[in-house]
Structure 1
Amino acid sequence: MLRDDLRTLWTEPRPPDAPARVWRDWVLLAAGLGGVVLEATLRENVVWRPVAVVFTVWLCLLPLWRRTRPLAMVTLAFGSVILLQVASLVAAPREPVGLYTGAVVLVLVYALPRWGSGREIVLGVTVVLAAAALCSVTDETPVVENLVGFVFLLLPGVFGAAVRFWVTARERQLEQVRSREREQLARELHDTVAHHVSAMVIIAQAGRVLAGADPSAAVEALEGVEEEGARTLEEMRAMVAALRDRGAGAELAPPAGVADLERLVRTPGGRLKVDLGLDGELDSLPPALDAAVYRIVQESVTNAMRHAVTATEVLVRVTAERHKVRVSVRDNGQRTGRGRDGYGLAGLRERAALLGGELQAGPGADQGWHVEAELPRGRTESGAHPRPRR
């Protein structure tokens, strides 16, 4: 078991999309260089002052690459510490060499497990422990102080590992939400199309019965419609079966849509008044778009019921335009917590993106929480031409 855990750690890849530099890096650099200037100017008992200043400036520069090159920066920083410690052993100064600002290396210890691969973490921790062990052996400090120093040195690394675990867990949950949303969308598409294809098969079967006295060409055509419809239904069921949960039913019924919004907002038990407004041609929306509008309103109203403090009303507006449908859900309450998007909103964004639209959610300018979605009526509607009826 331990061997498997170590092998998993060793093969762990780096987190994706690590930022090269952000504004905090320049603030950290300015603070470090400012600390070097103040300490070198005001401190009197600095051993090897020029060496200590150059060494600390070097340490302040290394965090600029801590996310993209975590192992290299840790090796350069703590390798320099080892070289300086060996030099101080040879020259035997009365006091340790260096400035207190050199504590900036703790940022590199944090960045190693946060942004490094498993292999980089193992090698980097080895370098850090080697430098700490050399300093503990050569410095005449009590054992308790050495232990406290070890803990203080490794604590940022523990924080970095914890942050990485939290971010990874949240990304995994978000991916599960997106996967469930794709599955639900695929199921809705399947059920809607299967509903119509089943009707086509039934009509074709009836046509065969009624066309018994007609020419054989009509019978063959009806047989072709029946065969093609049955094959399409079978292939679609097989394709989507892998996306369904094993316990899911196979009922063929169109999903809820705009027509069900009246029933949704009038569901008894809600503590908020829901003002629903529908505008435009909403009766002939594509099935996937129809279901997406319903899901956006359903999730947004549910979130308002749960999280909107002191809210009394939720305004829901669905507007159909020529090429797109706009959905707006706004409440007049106050939001609790930090206002971070939940997994439900992540699923709605995934659904909107799959349909070629976009969804935005956030606090309003004055009060409440706003959800705004814009969905196209069809990805190829503008370039499509109606087929003439025969």
Structure 2
Amino acid sequence: MDALRSMWVEPRPANPPDSGTRDKALIAALVGWSVLEAVFRHHLAPRPLLLLATVVAVAPLWWRRSHPLRTVAVAFATLTAVDIGRIVTDERGQLPGSVSATLVLTYSIFRWGSGREAAGGLGLILVWLSTTLVAESTNLAETVAGYAFFLFAAALGAAVRYRARIRLRDIDQAKTREREQLARELHDTVAHHVSGIAIQAQAGRAVAATHPERAIEALATIEDAATRTLTELRAIVGVLRTPQDTEFAPQPGLAEVEGLANGVRGRPSVEVTVSGEFHDLSPAVGAAIYRMAQESITNARRHARHATRVTVAVTGDADQVRLTVEDDGSSGLVGRAPAGYGLVGMQERATLLGGTFRAGPTTDRAWRVEAVLPRTGTPR
């Protein structure tokens, strides 16, 4: 009962895709199919009925995602009325093959409709299916096959729907883990700055009476540190989630990136190069570079087929830091799907710090990860 109640209150999936070129091609193909049948096939229903059946079965396909119940209601109610008319007038000719578009509508009501809409739509579908099987005088085998086709379409729509929901949940979990990881690293950054402010304030107070100029220098240092701390605090406000689930411990940073080459044994080998200017680099950015390099190396070792080498390059300039990780393996489809949760986490991390992230195959079929982060790690 709980399972049925859960299905009954299931809402519609969020953000269904708009109709586009593929929908136009599908509708055009089904209409063309009906025209060819009307010309070359015999034993069809009268042409006015053929035209009506084609229109009510095919036209609603355009709105099947945005209005799944309405399209099913219009299509199947009209087709049921047509079949009742065929039974009453004893018009036993077959309807066009384009009526198979009703399988797509059956799939759509379970893929894009709410639980109540799916239940109501299934009732309309079963009523029409019973009526049309009588109208076409089908035998037992054809009757069973007809029900099986439509039940399979409904089951397929429900399966795709729940698979998509599970995937969205897993992506959200990956983003949450990345946000909590970043929150821990940002906490350490703020603690570092606040400690520096306290030390400089103590030093300034100690020398204020005897060396006022040194006290002014201490105040300037405090101002600079306070500005950085404010920036990091703004980042924390944007990403910090459940505080009781967040552990605050020292996190690795840019200084530990070169050590990634030493921590990997066997193939593929890892080569790390660090070049450029990194003074005054935000610790949050340094930690992000380390985490993304670490994740990219792990992905290469797991998924890069026939890879012998992974190169990690970190370059810093006046405004930003660039991380590039590339392997020489084959970027086949197996294990290299662009929507992997590790890549989702890296994308989330880069976005939260105001940077950009790209990952994908190169022209020579290798795999490259590239992230560009502002030195200050200021969120957009």
TM-score (norm 2): 0.84
Shift of 1:98: 1.4
Q: Does structure 1 conserve the Cα–Cα contact (< 8 Å) formed by 2:37 and 2:96? A: yes
Shift of 1:379: 6.1
1:267 pairs with 249, 260, 263, which one?
A: 263
Change (3 A) 1:91 1:241: closer
2:305 pairs with 302, 306, 309, which one?
A: 309
Change (3 A) 1:266 1:259: same
Q: Does structure 1 conserve the Cα–Cα contact (< 8 Å) formed by 2:350 and 2:357? A: yes
Q: Does structure 1 conserve the Cα–Cα contact (< 8 Å) formed by 2:34 and 2:98? A: yes
Corresponding residue number in structure 2 for 1:384: none
Q: Does structure 1 conserve the Cα–Cα contact (< 8 Å) formed by 2:56 and 2:78? A: no
User: What CA deviation, in whole Å up to 9, does each residue of 1:120-153 have, x standing for no partner?
Assistant: 1111111111212333455543344322211111
SS at match of 1:327: strand
In structure 2, distance between residues paired with 1:376 and 1:249:
26
Change (3 A) 1:244 1:97: same
SS at match of 2:296: helix
In structure 2, distance between residues paired with 1:47 and 1:139:
10
Question: 42-51 or 73-82: which moved more?
Answer: 42-51
SS at match of 1:82: helix
Q: Where do residues 170-209 of structure 1 align in structure 2 (5 Å cutoff)? A: 170-198=167-195
User: What CA deviation, in whole Å up to 9, does each residue of 1:232-252 have, x standing for no partner?
Assistant: 9xxx9xx99963565x6554x
Matched, 1:160 2:157: yes
Matched, 1:373 2:371: yes
Corresponding residue number in structure 2 for 1:91: 89
Corresponding residue number in structure 1 for 2:44: 46
Question: 69-78 or 10-19: which moved more?
Answer: 10-19
SS at match of 1:256: coil
SS at match of 1:335: coil
Q: Does structure 2 conserve the Cα–Cα contact (< 8 Å) formed by 1:75 and 1:127? A: yes
- What amino acid does structure 2 have at the position aligned with 1:173? D
Change (3 A) 1:139 1:293: same
Q: Where do residues 377-388 of structure 1 align in structure 2 (5 Å cutoff)? A: 377-378=375-376
2:20 pairs with 5, 19, 22, which one?
A: 22
Identity %: 42
1:337 pairs with 333, 336, 339, which one?
A: 333
SS at match of 2:58: helix
- What amino acid does structure 1 have at the position aligned with 2:374? P
User: What CA deviation, in whole Å up to 9, does each residue of 1:88-133 have, x standing for no partner?
Assistant: 122112x244112211111111111111112211111111112123
Corresponding residue number in structure 1 for 2:219: none
Shift of 1:191: 2.4
**What RMSD, in angstroms, separates the aligned Cα atoms of the two structures?**
2.9
In structure 2, distance between residues paired with 1:276 and 1:357:
21
Shift of 1:266: 1.7
Corresponding residue number in structure 1 for 2:33: 35
Change (3 A) 1:249 1:323: closer
In structure 2, distance between residues paired with 1:242 and 1:85:
58
In structure 2, distance between residues paired with 1:118 and 1:42:
42
Matched, 1:243 2:242: yes
SS at match of 2:144: helix
1:326 pairs with 318, 322, 326, which one?
A: 322
Matched, 1:277 2:273: yes
Corresponding residue number in structure 2 for 1:387: none
In structure 2, distance between residues paired with 1:64 and 1:21:
6
SS at match of 2:376: coil
Q: Does structure 2 conserve the Cα–Cα contact (< 8 Å) formed by 1:300 and 1:371? A: yes
Flag structure 2 segments of 5+ consecutive residues without an equivalent.
Answer: 216-221
In structure 2, distance between residues paired with 1:376 and 1:205:
32
Change (3 A) 1:305 1:380: closer
TM-score (norm 1): 0.82
